[in-house]
Chains A and B, each alone.
Chain A
Amino acid sequence: MSFLLLVPIAAPLAAAALAAVLGWRRLTSSVTVAAALSVLVSAVILSFNNRSQVRFGILNLFRTDALSITMLIVIGTVGTLATVASIGYIDAELAHGHTDAKGANLYGVLVPIFLAAMASAVLANNIGVMWVAIEATTVATAFLVGHRRTRAALEATWKYVVICSVGIALAFLGTVLLYFASLHAGASSGDALNIDVLLAHASRLDPAVTRLGAGLLLLGYGAKAGLVPFHTWLADAHSQAPAPVSALMSGVLLSVAFYALLRVKSVVDLAVGTGFLRTGLIIVGLLTLLIAASLLLVQTDFKRMLAYSSMENMGLVAVAAAAGTKLAIAALLLHVLAHGIAKSLVFLGSGQLQAAHDSTQISDVTGVLARSPMIGATFLVGLAILLGLPPFAMFASELSISRALAGAGLGWVLGAALLLVVVAFAALVRNGARMLLGPPAPGSPAIAVPRSVSAALVTGVILSLVLGLTVGPLLELFQTAASVLGGNR
């Protein structure tokens, strides 16, 4: 079965190679869609066969367990939606002259590389390989963020590269410290960074060195996940990137970075007790929620608004991880999946709005529901999911997270988080209503929606309805994943 393990990485890489040779055309973009779909399909097959076991491949550098399968499902789903929409999006950009053939080719090559890197990160057993994969995602997305070559895009790319590189460097230092501690706990130098080896030696890891390493990893991977204090790149990068890339970055990349933190947490909790990372995650999570909610109140740009909403959700996810119980982790994973699909819907829709109005100011966009039922309805659905309204999945996940926090004795954290989520809720409702409802302003341009974008949007809505109404077989997967992480309550 290690063939199935390779598919999520090899298929997108093959698509990238094809795109490098042939350039941007219908064939290569369709192959990319097929690659993303193959990630999803292999994840589903793996979940049938392997969800309760851990299997290794390729020199024990890679593993599949319930947690990595869950993340692969997220990557595959959002990846498919985004790559399908990319076809129409880039064709429209080429037609309107917003990008040239070189830009389109670069896009076509970098997006599948991005998918392959994320897949490698979640399939890695060796945290060194995980680090390399996450660093590769920064490399791949840097030029994607600057796709449009405007002044603002350049500024966003600079901030993104600088801040995320610093974060990745700090995460590397944390990894080195864990390696050092692992060597001194008796692991052999070849596999001292393997997760199973680290878990086995966890009780013998030196506590002080592990704490230092864990703190650095929290800061470093937190930077990639958009957590305070290295969060300042998020709004700029996600708002300047082309819409499908924003969907991928907001919907999946942040979660993949957080996944890295979860893996580290499972080792660190065994070595120094749950208190250290719990406190760290609570502080970081609440601060992220605070800053995101505050900045959401004063937003005038809808893409930045969506980016801050992602930041708010990552703060909530961090707080949930702090609780650490089985319920909390399972709820967290559901939240991540639902958030991924929701962000795809809203970012793809906003991409079309930006193409129509040539601006991302909220005040310029009115009456979308009246002007384009497709964009209006799907944007409304996406917002409804993000607001945590039933019957969609984020209602269930947020409820479960609250129960988990209460059950873990973190009532005050729950109170603070709920307050901030309400603030964010209000901001999103106000801006969403302004954009979607009511009569359109006279002279508003028509909103064109390429066919592939509509296909992606409709699929996304269907998926989120299904997910909301019945979590179904995924529930067991999430719960197995939670127990993999050592949640024991």
Chain B
Amino acid sequence: MTQATYNGVLNLAAGAFLLAAVLIVWRRELRSIVALLAWQGIALAAIPLTEGIYQHDAALIVVGVVVLLLRAVALPLLLARAVGTEPGERRESTPLVNTTTSLLITAGLTILAYAVTRPIIALDPSPSTRAVPAAFAVILIAVFVMVSRRRALSQAVGFMMLDNGIAATAFLITAGVPLIVELGASLDVLFAVLVLGLLTGHMRRTFGGTDLDQLRELRG
């Protein structure tokens, strides 16, 4: 793999990663959001895979395959099962911030991400580090999504996006962190999805729906 191809593929992966996040903010149907999350997982897995192939590092390639299976296949499947089958459940109720404003806020967050990550690029101006602003932007967008959605599952998707963004940052600036930490991070994600999926099931049985606005008993 040549340097130019490596740069190009890395840029495309980071760009697709950010684009998936933008589309998650744009779309409102739960099924399409979960599908976009799967696409984002593929873009995420492309980063360690590309770096592994370019640097002939087998460990990175293995990590990339694991990430692909976990975040592009297993977790979106779990979330899709939790989406439920009633048509009323599929569509997101009006988010707290309307779509036009959300998109404009996303634009602002992207610019903020570029500003905030300048010291990182200054410390290590390599092609992979230059893509970090995209990953950071996804992190900020994910926090915004979690704050501005009403359905429990949309919040879960937002959390997964946050984890994807952090994993992307870790892969881009350091080619992964020590194995034990990576393991802990993956367990964290798995746990979060399991718990959130379980809780959503409980919620549906107890509250008759997963609209988070119904969680209003504990106040003050």
Contacts and interface: CB of A to CB of B under 8 A. Distances in A.
Within the complex, are A and B direct neighbours (CB within 8 Å)?
Answer: yes
B116 A132 contact: no
Contacts of B187: 135, 139
B199 interface: yes
A128 B220 contact: no
A165 B178 contact: no
Contact of B181 (A131, A162, A165, A298): A131
Given A169-B166, A184-B123, A209-B123, A128 B159 contact: no
Contacts of A131: 181, 184
A394 interface: no
Interface in B102-117: 116
B191 interface: yes
The 6 A-B pairs of least Cβ separation, nearest first, read A208-B119, A132-B184, A128-B181, A155-B215, A236-B218, A176-B170
Interface centre among A169, A181, A298 (most CB of B within 10 A): A169
A177 interface: yes
A307 to B, nearest CB: 11
A474 interface: no
Interface in A152-205: 152, 154-159, 161-162, 165-166, 168-169, 172-173, 175-177, 179-181, 183-184, 189-190, 193
Interface stretch (B41-49, B87-95, B200-208): B200-208
B199 A176 contact: no
B120 interface: yes
A234 to B, nearest CB: 11
Contacts of A252: none
B123 A139 contact: no
Nearest to B181: A128
A239 B184 CA distance: 29
Contact of A176 (B122, B173, B212): B173
Contacts of A189: 178
Given A161-B195, A175-B177, 13 more contacts: A126-B178, A152-B217, A154-B203, A154-B207, A159-B215, A162-B146, A162-B196, A166-B143, A177-B173, A183-B174, A190-B178, A193-B181, A208-B119
Nearest to A171: B166
B23 interface: no
Interface centre among A135, A143, A176 (most CB of B within 10 A): A176
Interface string B151-172: 0100100010011001001100
Contacts of A181: 123
A91 interface: no
Main secondary structure of the interface of B (DSSP, over half): helix
Interface string A131-149: 1100110010011000001
A175 to B, nearest CB: 7
A162 B178 contact: no
Contacts of A155: 215, 217-218
A208 B170 CA distance: 17
B188 interface: yes
B160 to A, nearest CB: 10
B192 A165 contact: yes
Contacts of A159: 215, 218
Using C-beta atoms within 8 Å of the partner chain, give the interface range for chain A: 35 or more
Interface in B67-109: none
Given A158-B215, A295-B220, A176 B177 contact: yes
Contact of B184 (A135, A180, A212, A300): A135
A107 B4 CA distance: 56
Contacts of B162: 166, 169
Contacts of B195: 142-143, 161
B61 interface: no
A173 B123 contact: no
B124 interface: yes
B206 A179 contact: no
A235 B180 CA distance: 33
Contact of B218 (A136, A156, A190): A156
A129 interface: yes
A209 B119 contact: yes
Interface of B: 116, 119-120, 122-124, 139, 143, 146, 152, 155, 159, 162-163, 166, 169-170, 173-174, 177-178, 180-181, 183-185, 187-188, 191-192, 195-196, 199, 202-203, 206-207, 212, 215, 217-218, 220
A123 to B, nearest CB: 15
A176 B218 contact: no
A183 B212 CA distance: 43
Contacts of B199: 154, 157-158, 161
Given A166-B143, A209-B123, A180 B173 contact: yes
A212 B120 contact: yes
Contacts of B170: 172-173, 176
A431 interface: no
A93 interface: no
Contact of A166 (B159, B177, B181, B206): B159
Contacts of B173: 176-177, 180
A233 to B, nearest CB: 10
Contacts of B217: 151-152, 155
A176 B136 CA distance: 13
Contacts of A154: 199, 202-203, 206-207, 215
A452 interface: no
Contacts of B183: 132
A180 B129 CA distance: 11
A326 B143 CA distance: 37
A212 B136 CA distance: 12
A181 B212 CA distance: 40
B70 to A, nearest CB: 16
B119 A212 contact: yes
Interface in A102-150: 126, 128-129, 131-132, 135-136, 139, 142-143, 149
B207 to A, nearest CB: 7
Interface string A212-245: 1000000000000000000000011001100000
